[in-house]
A and B are shown apart, each in its own frame.
Chain A
Amino acid sequence: MKNELIFLRELIKLNLASAMEYRASFISQIVGMFINNGIYFIFWFIFFDKFGSVRGYEIGDIYLLFGIVALGYGLAYMFAANTGPNLAYLIAQGRLDYYLVLPRRLLPHVIFSRMSVSTIGDVTFGLMAYLFTGRFHPIDITLFLITAVLAALVLVGFSIINGSLAFFLGNAQQLSQQANGAIVTFALYPHTLFTGWARLFLFTLIPAGFVGGVPVEVVNGRDPILLLGLVLVVIAIWSLATAVFYFGLRRYESGSAINVNV
């Protein structure tokens, strides 16, 4: 286990060094993502300034929601960007061969082999958004960081599942991309907006509620039971993700292609 962790640490260091090789592009991607998130922030600021509150959500809750989702999203794909559509691509193109022949655990090796540079902008933005909430009690800060990590784990688990669909469907890149787009889009809106079947949908098929809504409730209510529930959900999603990936792997067909990974 210790060896695995050391290996992953080295893998991440290598990804970061390779991304920083192109310094201008590295910085512009981070700044770009910061602007991207900032504009939604401005929208909510204008929105709540005019309309006050919506279904129990006020501007402070939105700051918290953005903080958790942006930090969670950033952490997820800063480390594990070889998930979702990228994973679907590797599977469909038979490019898992490269990883299969190496003496490392397959799933962590694959998913941590790519870093999304722009997500550093998300991480920074998430932390800055949290500053706007004005919650500086150590308990709140701790809960914010824990829930953001749990949100990241939900996102990565979900991305492994939808990326692994390529084992069964062949080309699942677009489907995976849409699923990932949908979970983040839904997560960034107050979950109280959605009722009935839509709510059920957001806590099952596209588990956006566990990325945004529930973490916000945990921090707002300092609710240990809900936090425990969120941990259990993460375990369930990761168990499912691992099962789907390794079950799908049995159907994997080698690409017999000569690949050079640089």
Chain B
Amino acid sequence: MSKLQTLALKYGAITAINLQNQLAYVWDAFHRAFFIVVVMFIFAQLWTAVFQAQGVTVINGLTLANTIWYFLIAEMIEMGKFRHDLTISEEVKDGSIAYTLVRPYNYLAYHFFNGLGETAVKMIVLFVTGSLVCYYYAGPPTAQLVHLPAVLLALILAILLDFCFLSMIGLLAFVTEDTGSFRLIYQKLIFILGGLLIPIDFLPDWLQTIARALPFAAITYTPAKLFVAFSWTEFGQLLTGQLVWLALAGGLLYAQYRWAVRRLVVNGG
């Protein structure tokens, strides 16, 4: 068995175990997804009122139906992603990271593949639940089946990029006791500059330029926009943006992780 196969088996098993755990409580996940119904209902009302007030069918390239489905994908990503940064910072603070680091897997890869199982269930549940509201107010999505693999790729890259940023925030526990404020600021940057509360296309030009140049849009806006208004040209541009940010964030995370491991001091036995 090649080394790659062994790795695939090992991390695949981690994802599968977490997936099983999540599936055991899938009805709990549906109960938790109630909030997306509230949010999507409000967004549907708000944006219907906006389109009516403006007396137009398209705003900056998005129809009302596009806008409503856009928010479902954006909210699904935000509510469905895993928040392992809390686990990392707790492990750093209580010292248990010393035990987890010596286990026969890469510490960060473990967190990613473990979270993947959780996020898959959460996102599917959120999408299914929220779709009912979207379908009622906006009809079926306009996304074509042929484009879905490309959208899925953008979604996976978005999850990976978010993982890098949250890992960096979690590892900050090596230098600061409370990483909660960093997570809060990161989350709020995604709200505006990531296009969670308002699509980036609707921002004023100067802010659009800033938002498109920053990594937050690559996490929420990119998959959501590609889902509702796919074009191969935009896919190429947005995917390039995701890959560039992923390389930068991945490199930074690697450096920070190496530094953190060196700083780790284990006392006693």
Contacts and interface: CB of A to CB of B under 8 A. Distances in A.
Contacts of A193: 42, 45-46, 49
Interface in A155-206: 174, 178, 181-182, 185-186, 189, 193-194, 198
A51 B181 contact: no
Given A28-B181, A46-B207, A198-B45, A55 B192 contact: no
A35 B180 CA distance: 12
Given A35-B188, A198-B41, A25 B204 contact: no
B contacts with A: majority SS: helix
Given A24-B178, A32-B180, A51-B53, A43 B197 contact: yes
A46 B204 contact: yes
A52 B15 CA distance: 48
B198 A43 contact: yes
A100 interface: no
Interface string A24-56: 110010011001101110110011011111110
A44 to B, nearest CB: 9
Interface stretch (B28-36, B85-93, B261-269): B28-36
B184 interface: yes
B237 interface: no
Contacts of B197: 39-40, 43
Contacts of B41: 198
Nearest to B39: A185
Contact of A42 (B32, B50, B192): B192
Given A36-B188, A186-B42, A51 B50 contact: yes
Contacts of B204: 46, 49-50
A189 B184 contact: no
B105 interface: no
Interface string B115-140: 00000000000000000000000000
Interface residues of A, number: 31
Most chain B CB within 10 A, of A50, A189, A198, is at: A50
Interface residues of B, number: 29
A3 B41 CA distance: 47
B38 A182 contact: yes
A166 to B, nearest CB: 16
A50 B202 contact: yes
A55 B49 contact: yes
B33 to A, nearest CB: 10
Contacts of A40: 197
A86 B169 CA distance: 29
B143 interface: no
B42 A185 contact: yes
B181 A32 contact: yes
B37 to A, nearest CB: 9
B169 to A, nearest CB: 14
Contacts of B38: 181-182, 185-186
A28 B178 contact: yes
B69 interface: no
Contacts of B39: 185
B54 interface: yes
A190 to B, nearest CB: 8
Interface of A: 24-25, 28, 31-32, 35-36, 38-40, 42-43, 46-47, 49-55, 174, 178, 181-182, 185-186, 189, 193-194, 198
25 contacts: A24-B177, A25-B178, A28-B178, A31-B181, A32-B180, A35-B185, A36-B184, A36-B188, A40-B197, A43-B191, A43-B192, A46-B198, A46-B203, A46-B207, A47-B198, A178-B34, A181-B35, A181-B38, A185-B42, A186-B38, A189-B42, A189-B45, A189-B46, A193-B46, A194-B45
